[in-house]
Amino acid sequence: MQPAQEFGDNPVEVRETGHYTEEYVPSFVEKWDALIDWEKRAESEGNFFIDLLRKWGVRSVLDVATGTGFHSVRLLAAGFETVSADGSAEMLARAFENGTKQGGHILRVVQADWRWLNRDVHGEYDAIVCLGNSFTHLFSERARRKALAEFYAMLKHDGILVLDQRNYDAILDDGFTSKHRYYYCGEDVIVEPEYVDEGLCRMRYSFPDNSTYHLNMFPLRKDYTRRLMSEVGFQRIETYGDFQHTYRGEQPDFFVHVAEKE
């Protein structure tokens, strides 16, 4: 029997930074990876990150939120020296497998939680990428500051941190009633906020076989993320709107922050 997601009697009270390892149960990860086909994702994202990293003259990259390996594999294919970290062993195993399947790439994987990154990952990098709305898993400000400080310490003096996030300002400000539905791969997966307050965005993922999964995330306001980055020492932060196709028109679904160490 595969483990089920466990949120207890009152799911909206689950606001713990360490809970992410229990949320990415194998059945959810498998389904997700099968439905969000990599080619379509690559198409919608384009070469945004590759071009950005090349523009900055980056050679070595630490992917701190490897997940199932989408960005790590793209970075390796584009010729970047890449180390792939994640706090979930489940995710890394799948990423490694995906790497060999997609072009025979051997991923250098390291299991590491961002809060103690320097303990488990070694070296300094030209860039750290934290993509796919991952930073949102941290629930306390202390954890966010600690993680950003760990990222900062692992960058070379002129390195950059590239971190993306969902546009939570829109979700928080438009309110729960006017919630927006995000469709992935056409209409196959429906992603929508089931509950929102200033301290929690609980997202529901509905799949065509009627199965549903949830992720509890902290709704990072854009300017708050920028402020934290600046407070831990990043000197300049540039924020881009959507890099990918948006179904909404006026507001971007994602923001991408590029923070310079010096």
Q: Name the site residues for ligand SAM (rule: CB under 6 A).
A: 20, 24, 65, 67-68, 70-71, 86-88, 91, 113-115, 131-134, 137
For residue 22 the two structure tokens come to 């229990």
φ, ψ of residue 254 to 5 degrees: the values are -130, 150
Q: Which is nearer to ligand SAM, 24 or 168 (CB)?
A: 24
Q: Which is nearer to ligand SAM, 57 or 116 (CB)?
A: 116
Question: Three-class SS of residue 44?
Answer: helix
Contact 66, 90 (CB under 8 A): no
- Minimum Å gap between C-beta 97 and ligand SAM is 14
Residue nearest to ligand SAM (CB): 132
Q: Quote the crossing angle between the two packed helices 70-77 and 38-45, to the nearest 10°.
A: 70
Q: Which is nearer to ligand SAM, 163 or 196 (CB)?
A: 163
d(CA 180, CA 249): 12
Q: Which is nearer to ligand SAM, 70 or 168 (CB)?
A: 70
For residue 68 the two structure tokens come to 């199932």
Q: Which is nearer to ligand SAM, 58 or 73 (CB)?
A: 73
- Minimum Å gap between C-beta 95 and ligand SAM is 8
Residue 164 CB neighbours (<10 A): 26
Question: Three-class SS of residue 192?
Answer: strand
- Minimum Å gap between C-beta 224 and ligand SAM is 18
- Minimum Å gap between C-beta 193 and ligand SAM is 15
- Minimum Å gap between C-beta 177 and ligand SAM is 26
- Minimum Å gap between C-beta 42 and ligand SAM is 12
d(CA 178, CA 142): 32
Q: Where are the beta strands (DSSP E) in 79-184?
A: 81-86, 108-111, 125-130, 155-166, 182-184
Q: Which is nearer to ligand SAM, 213 or 234 (CB)?
A: 213
Distances (CA, A) of 41 to 28, 143, 236, 243: 18, 30, 29, 11
